[in-house]
A and B are shown apart, each in its own frame.
Chain A
């Protein structure tokens, strides 16, 4: 799930307003976008990229192995499964509001075919200085710069803010992994933590979590085994319980998903949990992290 300049990317829904805007941004940043998919416009070019009728055609003709979806929720299941069956290695699902039944069908298909799904409802993946896949402001120099801190975030906007705080302090990032704001995800905080732990270009990790679900608690289980320093910020301490805070996954039900539970689980394994985003950099500096 750490994207590289060598990855060949196929954009599903390339001709839409957002597909167009972000394909241009990805290309300008250095992402190898090799194909777009739109059954009605096969044979044409869009953003200087050839369009194919299906993901299967695009894979066959361009050898693309990463796909990113600018596809509305009602047809996302169909598009995602078609991509998975075309042997896409990494599928980035940006779409929000995909029914849970459809998400389960997509993730089951991904498990059968060995596809790594990131999302749904993710803002995407950034490897600063190399490429990005999704809808993150990789190209804004005040937000991202190359470096050695990996960032995992459920939220695109908050992940952007955390990377901005790092960059403003001169701390660059090895990778940004947006996992998504839905309750059911192809890649969890723990999965991303394992990937960054294995990544030789990453020296430390920032976990940007939020209330709801148990992903931070599961990530803490793995964090226990890690030597790389980890700092975390969890959003939602001031949110009222029982209300869905924008993200479908951000809701506290009973004791489940509470801020206190997440903070306790992370602190118990030595993760420094900070109160405001501005404290992330000092928290990493405590561990003598070189810039």
Chain B
């Protein structure tokens, strides 16, 4: 779960006693002009939960209210990454003596929290970390070398905050302010039903159980020259939601065929097949559907599909996928 800079500064850093520049959150050019009148020379920062804001023209320095109003008009409504700019953080300009980078993160390899400190600014810290991990050192910081603004203060000029999705239920106040990734109408509908749906630009629909099997179904579609139309997982506890899942994949415009690939471990294929059969009667799919069913509950599931839908599931998932790709082309 990602957050915009203003949330990180006001809800995380400031309450922890870390100084942040004086600033104001604005949503219109007028508000920005008023803010600059009281703040003086300012930096206008597009609030989007993505990197490369500066390079995209979303971070701008202004001196006067009219200039601020003009710049704000240009930045509001811009698209940076996937996000449209709807909010601007207007902050006092800081004279920077030295720039540093600090991070607290969960280190998957060490299975411990890790504090990183880099003696260079954090513009492309991810790239530096990937290309040359040694450039980021865990050095003891000499007290005379403490990061500072020209006037000697230590100020957090930028901030990025990510909340563990699994912990959101116990951070409700913060989670409410999460920057949601832009979603299509179908993706939003899926999310309302607790399903993870990613709409893609292909024409072969995918309905599978479990993240690994769903990704693999997409991979094999592409391997045989087809283009997957979606990611949709009904794994874990969601395996009982195959009715709504079928509705979602069939609603994806441009879909020419559908692969239903069940490989039951925890997810029972009989329960999933039952959901599909129920939804089928309502939805009456007009495109060809290709089944592959194996694992927990497979005998009941295969019998159900055979008898209720008069469709013979394929022996192998590769055969089902090849057939679906052929029809879609």
A residues near B, CB below 8 A? 18, 73-74, 94, 96-101, 103-104, 107-108, 123, 135-137, 140, 142-143, 153-161, 164, 168, 181, 183-184, 208, 210-211, 213-214, 218, 233, 235-240, 243-250, 253-256, 275-278
Q: Tell me which of B10-18, B105-113, B151-159 binds A.
A: B105-113
Given A157-B267, A246-B235; A74-B215 close (CB under 8 Å): no
Which one of B167, B170, B212, B266 lies within 8 Å of A100 (CB-CB)?
Answer: B167
Instruction: Decide if B109 touches A214 in the complex (CB within 8 Å).
Output: yes
Chain A residues, CB < 8 A from B219: 235-239, 275-276
Given A155-B210, A277-B317; A250-B215 close (CB under 8 Å): yes
**A210 CA to B215 CA, complexed, in Å:** 9
Given A157-B235, A246-B196; A236-B265 close (CB under 8 Å): no
**A209 CA to B109 CA, complexed, in Å:** 16
Nearest to B113 among chain A residues (CB) is A104
Chain B residues, CB < 8 A from A161: 213, 216, 263, 294, 317
**A128 CA to B31 CA, complexed, in Å:** 68
Chain B residues, CB < 8 A from A208: 212
Which one of B106, B170, B263, B295 lies within 8 Å of A104 (CB-CB)?
Answer: B106
The 5 closest A-B pairs by CB, nearest first: A155-B212, A157-B210, A246-B211, A158-B212, A99-B167
Instruction: Decide if B211 touches A184 in the complex (CB within 8 Å).
Output: no
B residues near A, CB below 8 A? 106, 108-109, 111-113, 126-127, 130, 164-167, 169-170, 196, 198, 200, 208-216, 218-223, 228, 231, 233, 235-236, 263-267, 294-296, 298, 316-318
Chain A residues, CB < 8 A from B220: 276-277
Chain A residues, CB < 8 A from B228: 238
Given A136-B265, A240-B200; A156-B111 close (CB under 8 Å): no
Which one of A97, A157, A184, A278 lies within 8 Å of B213 (CB-CB)?
Answer: A157
**A159 CA to B212 CA, complexed, in Å:** 8
Nearest to B215 among chain A residues (CB) is A235
Nearest to A120 among chain B residues (CB) is B166
Instruction: Decide if A238 touches B236 in the complex (CB within 8 Å).
Output: no
Chain B residues, CB < 8 A from A276: 219-220, 223, 318
Given A140-B295, A156-B265, A160-B265; A254-B210 close (CB under 8 Å): no
Nearest to A234 among chain B residues (CB) is B219
Instruction: Decide if B298 touches A100 in the complex (CB within 8 Å).
Output: no
Nearest to B296 among chain A residues (CB) is A137
The total number of A-B Cβ pairs within 8 Å is 173
Chain B residues, CB < 8 A from A277: 216, 220, 317-318
Instruction: Decide if B106 touches A211 in the complex (CB within 8 Å).
Output: no
**A157 CA to B215 CA, complexed, in Å:** 11
Chain B residues, CB < 8 A from A156: 210, 212, 235, 265-266
Instruction: Decide if A158 touches B296 in the complex (CB within 8 Å).
Output: no
**A213 CA to B221 CA, complexed, in Å:** 24
**13 contacting pairs across A/B (C-beta < 8 A):** A104-B111, A136-B265, A142-B298, A158-B213, A160-B263, A184-B106, A238-B228, A239-B218, A240-B198, A240-B200, A243-B198, A253-B126, A276-B223
Instruction: Decide if B127 touches A254 in the complex (CB within 8 Å).
Output: yes
Distance in angstroms from B203 CB to nearest chain A CB is 14
Instruction: Decide if B222 touches A159 in the complex (CB within 8 Å).
Output: no
Chain B residues, CB < 8 A from A210: 211-212, 215
Which one of B166, B266, B294 lies within 8 Å of A143 (CB-CB)?
Answer: B294
Nearest to A124 among chain B residues (CB) is B265
Instruction: Decide if A211 touches B294 in the complex (CB within 8 Å).
Output: no
**A164 CA to B221 CA, complexed, in Å:** 19
**A146 CA to B111 CA, complexed, in Å:** 34
Which one of A101, A238, A278 lies within 8 Å of B164 (CB-CB)?
Answer: A101
Instruction: Decide if A99 touches B222 in the complex (CB within 8 Å).
Output: no
Chain A residues, CB < 8 A from B170: 99
Given A208-B212, A276-B220; A164-B164 close (CB under 8 Å): no
Nearest to B269 among chain A residues (CB) is A137
Chain B residues, CB < 8 A from A275: 219, 223
Given A96-B236, A140-B295; A248-B166 close (CB under 8 Å): yes
Instruction: Decide if B164 touches A99 in the complex (CB within 8 Å).
Output: yes
Distance in angstroms from B202 CB to nearest chain A CB is 9
Instruction: Decide if A159 touches B108 in the complex (CB within 8 Å).
Output: no
Can you name 14 extra interface pairs (CB under 8 A) apart from A158-B213, A244-B196?
A: A74-B169, A96-B236, A104-B112, A157-B211, A157-B213, A158-B216, A159-B212, A160-B264, A208-B212, A213-B108, A246-B214, A248-B166, A255-B130, A276-B220
